[in-house]
Amino acid sequence: MITAQAADKSLDIQGKDFLTLADFSKNTILGLVQKARKMKNASLLGKDSKSLNGKILGMIFEKPSTRTRVSFEAGMIQLGGSALYLNSNDLQIGRGETVADTAKVLSQYVDAIMIRTFSHGMVEELALHADIPVINGLTDLYHPCQALADLLTIYEVKGRLEGLKLVYAGDGNNVAHSLMIAAAKVGMNLTIAAPPGYEPQEKVLALAKQFGKETGAEIEVVNSAIEAAAGADILYTDVWTSMGQEQENAERLEIFKSYQVNAQLAAAAKQDYTFLHCLPAHRGEEVAADIIDGSHSAVFQQAGNRLHAQKALLSELL
């Protein structure tokens, strides 16, 4: 259970980077979730804190975005700050200027950097050389901001995190990786169901299992979606073809077809299961339309929670 006190005391992450949830303790993660709940309630009452008055967030995008860009930009504005959209095509980074030099220059202008890109190594290099917090808005390895919003959503819907069974069916990608770390950190059981050859990376699985030993969470990877879904509290999926994999689309549609979240898969879950998807969704591919648009779906609540989770994160880092 998340205590109310968790949101009222400092989480001691001011000035730190946010690259993966693996870097943070269970208490810090739960504290961010609770702070996000309080900030969401305040926002709904029109009582947003202006704690980031005068602060500027620089947002670097190598990948296009809807939720990441709008939620971070809106969040900064609501907290009294501002955000700068920096398309990688408009920057010198990667076109002659090193990542290190870009980090040092941007550190003179803005108070934090959020970057959404392909290479996780690039984000690590940016953080290494920046004098300000760097936030991973998405890489090919991790998507920690999404996982933080997912925890908030699950807590709102289920009233707890610890001991729940979360089942993710589909590609063992960055979303799956961050879910593994997040679940293990907070004591939530997670089963990833992925086709052979498309499982999450072994190093991430080993890390999640290590964290799971500390919280009692069981983290496993299987190949059968229908077996994984048995008794699930939450069913979760993502697109089968991510940005940069478009040439594999036809092949992936065939390989992943038995991993669709549909009525048959949902029948194996608990009667009060919740469906989640990080969006954008391809109805008729990874999820049937009647599932994502049905009464068990919380995907738009989940999308909205990106804003509140990131506001909590920004307010703590800055």
State residue 3's pLDDT score.
57
Q: Of 70, 124, 108, 145, whose CA–CA distance to 314 is shortest?
A: 145
Binding residue ranges = 65-68, 92, 116, 143-146, 174, 238, 242-243, 278-279, 306
Binding residue ranges for carbamoyl phosphate = 65-68, 92, 116, 143-146, 278-279, 306
Share of the chain above pLDDT 70, in %: 97
State residue 10's pLDDT score.
75
The structural domains of the chain, ordered by start, are 24-140+306-315 (3.40.50.1370), 144-301 (3.40.50.1370)
Mean pLDDT value of segment 164-193: 98
Active-site positions? 116, 143, 146, 238, 278, 306
pLDDT at 56 over 60: yes
Rounded to two decimals, the pTM is 0.96
Mean pLDDT value of segment 149-153: 99
Residues in the chain: 318
State residue 121's pLDDT score.
97
Q: Tell me: the pLDDT tens digits for 177-188?
A: 999 999 999 999
The 10 Å Cβ neighbour count of residue 96 is 7
Q: 304 CB contacts (<8 Å, ≥6 apart)?
A: none
pLDDT at 7 over 60: no
Residue 238 token pair = 């993502």
Q: Tell me: the pLDDT tens digits for 116-149?
A: 999 999 999 999 999 999 999 999 999 999 999 9
Q: Of 45, 46, 69, 43, whose CA–CA distance to 58 is shortest?
A: 69
State residue 93's pLDDT score.
81
Q: Tell me: the pLDDT tens digits for 197-210?
A: 999 999 999 999 99
Binding residue ranges for L-ornithine = 174, 238, 242-243
pLDDT at 45 over 80: yes
Burial of 46 (C-beta count, 10 Å sphere; 0-12/13-18/19+): exposed
Q: Contact 175/238 with Cβ under 8 angstroms?
A: yes
